[in-house]
Amino acid sequence: MKKILFSVVAVALVLGALAYVFRRPLTRVVVSRVVAGNMASTFLEDLPDGLHVGLCGAGSPLPDPQRSGPCVAVVAGENLFVVDSGSGSSRNLGQMGLSQGKIDAILLTHFHSDHIDGLGEMLMQRWVNGTHTLPTPLYGPDGVERVVAGFNQAYAQDAVYRTAHHGEETAPSSGAGARAQPFGLPGPGEGVKVVEDGDLTITAFAVDHEPIRPAVGYRFDYKGRSVLVSGDTSKSANLAQFAQGVDLLVHEALSPELVGLLTQGAENAQRPNLVKITNDILDYHTSPVEVAEVAREAGAQELLFYHVVPPLILPTMEEMFMEGVTQTYAGPVTIGRDGTFFSLPARSSEITHRELL
């Protein structure tokens, strides 16, 4: 028995020593295989026909290790759309296997900095990863053209460098940046069909993020399946109307109780500007229970929270965030984080959920 044990330990030591001696060649093999695997990924192409929703950013301007700036990827059939592009969202999208080069269009809900501060990176990655010859279509309510002009100007020199360095065939100069696709802010009960393409309709509708105007949400309808992305809003009857019968409601939420703790902390730290800000943000977002009311009123099949405020850094904070939600809305509820991914296969009532990051 002792002999066998001795032999096993000896073999393990020899293998360990060999692995240490050859650690660099081994690392080369592993890295090149992982890189090749990632680059050859056909995750997007392999998805079943239907609607798919991925959170490329589940958070807000407040730093949360699990939640980057707001970003919702929606795959409809073979098309990839991105709603908003907060900080960190472009990197998340790539890591989720949704190559930025495959983006068909980006849609903005409003022009608050946390919804556009990842946009420059997203546009550049989409251009060079996809060898695009036309700029990214960027939909948004009137005013989106100013955002586009600003980003295009800020990245104009970068675009020149990249074409000069990689050549027209790899980074065609005509494909850099974005082109604005503005639409007028719809009135209550009115929807603007921003995309109508075969089986897919994307409808923009007004939400209530006063004093921020314009602000919209988007509803995606594809082959009998539907998803609604709220953007930033306080509890909105107009949104509830557009969410009628939706399969998956993707809604922002702010917990007044937890934000109250931030205010208290700011008071204790004698930071009056932070006290003012944490008080101000209460009036233009929706509490988790109010979101649950909207989901119930709309008859939504399932609810996904994103733009989660404040950061939920302790498991018990998730419990506090959810207080009263399941008593209000009977369907399944998920608190989103970066990489949360839902699939809604075409012409079915199935909804599946997994985490990609």
Using CB atoms within 10 Å of the CB of residue 80, give its burial: 0 to 12 exposed, 13 to 18 middle, 19+ buried.
buried
Tell me the window of 109-117, 256-264, 270-278, 344-352 that interacts with Zn ion (CB under 5 A).
Answer: 109-117
232 or 290: CB nearest Zn ion: 232
State the nearest-atom distance from the C-beta of 242 to Zn ion, in Å.
Answer: 18
H-run or E-run covering 76: strand 71-76
CA dihedral angle for residue 283, residue 288, residue 292, residue 294, rounded to 10 degrees:
20
Tell me the window of 140-148, 156-164, 231-239, 336-344 that interacts with Zn ion (CB under 5 A).
Answer: 231-239
Single residue of 64, 114, 247, 293 touching Zn ion by CB under 5 A: 114
Any contact of residue 235 with Zn ion (CB under 5 A)?
Answer: no
247 or 290: CB nearest Zn ion: 290
221 or 232: CB nearest Zn ion: 232
223 or 285: CB nearest Zn ion: 285
Considering Cα of 340, then 346, then 349, then 350, what sign does the dihedral take?
A: negative
63 or 299: CB nearest Zn ion: 63
Report DSSP letters for 190-245, one per residue: --EEEEEETTEEEEEEE--BTTB-S-EEEEEEETTEEEEE--S-SS-HHHHHHTTT
From 114, 221, 232, 247, active-site residue: 114
Tell me the window of 226-234, 254-262, 311-319, 326-334 that interacts with Zn ion (CB under 5 A).
Answer: 226-234
Single residue of 64, 84, 208, 232 touching Zn ion by CB under 5 A: 232
State the nearest-atom distance from the C-beta of 203 to Zn ion, in Å.
Answer: 20
Residues 106 and 129: their CA atoms lie apart, in Å, by: 16
Any contact of residue 132 with Zn ion (CB under 5 A)?
Answer: no
State the nearest-atom distance from the C-beta of 297 to Zn ion, in Å.
Answer: 23
Locate 246 and state its tokens. Answer: 């939706």
114 in catalytic set = yes
Residue 132's CB: how many other CB atoms inside 10 A? 18
- Asked if residue 191 lies in contact with residue 199, where contact means CB atoms within 8 angstroms, the answer is no
State the nearest-atom distance from the C-beta of 166 to Zn ion, in Å.
Answer: 35
Cα first-last separation, the chain? 45
Residues 208 and 173: their CA atoms lie apart, in Å, by: 39
Tell me the window of 4-12, 91-99, 110-118, 157-165 that interacts with Zn ion (CB under 5 A).
Answer: 110-118
State the nearest-atom distance from the C-beta of 167 to Zn ion, in Å.
Answer: 39
Single residue of 91, 112, 235, 285 touching Zn ion by CB under 5 A: 112
Locate 201 and state its tokens. Answer: 């309709």
b/e for 251-274, b at 16 or more Cβ within 10 A?
bbbbbeebbeebbeebeeeeeeee
State the nearest-atom distance from the C-beta of 111 to Zn ion, in Å.
Answer: 9
H-run or E-run covering 23: helix 23-39
Any contact of residue 64 with Zn ion (CB under 5 A)?
Answer: no
85 or 163: CB nearest Zn ion: 85
Q: Which residues bind Zn ion (CB under 5 A)?
A: 112, 114, 232
User: Which residues does the annotation mark as catalytic?
Assistant: 114
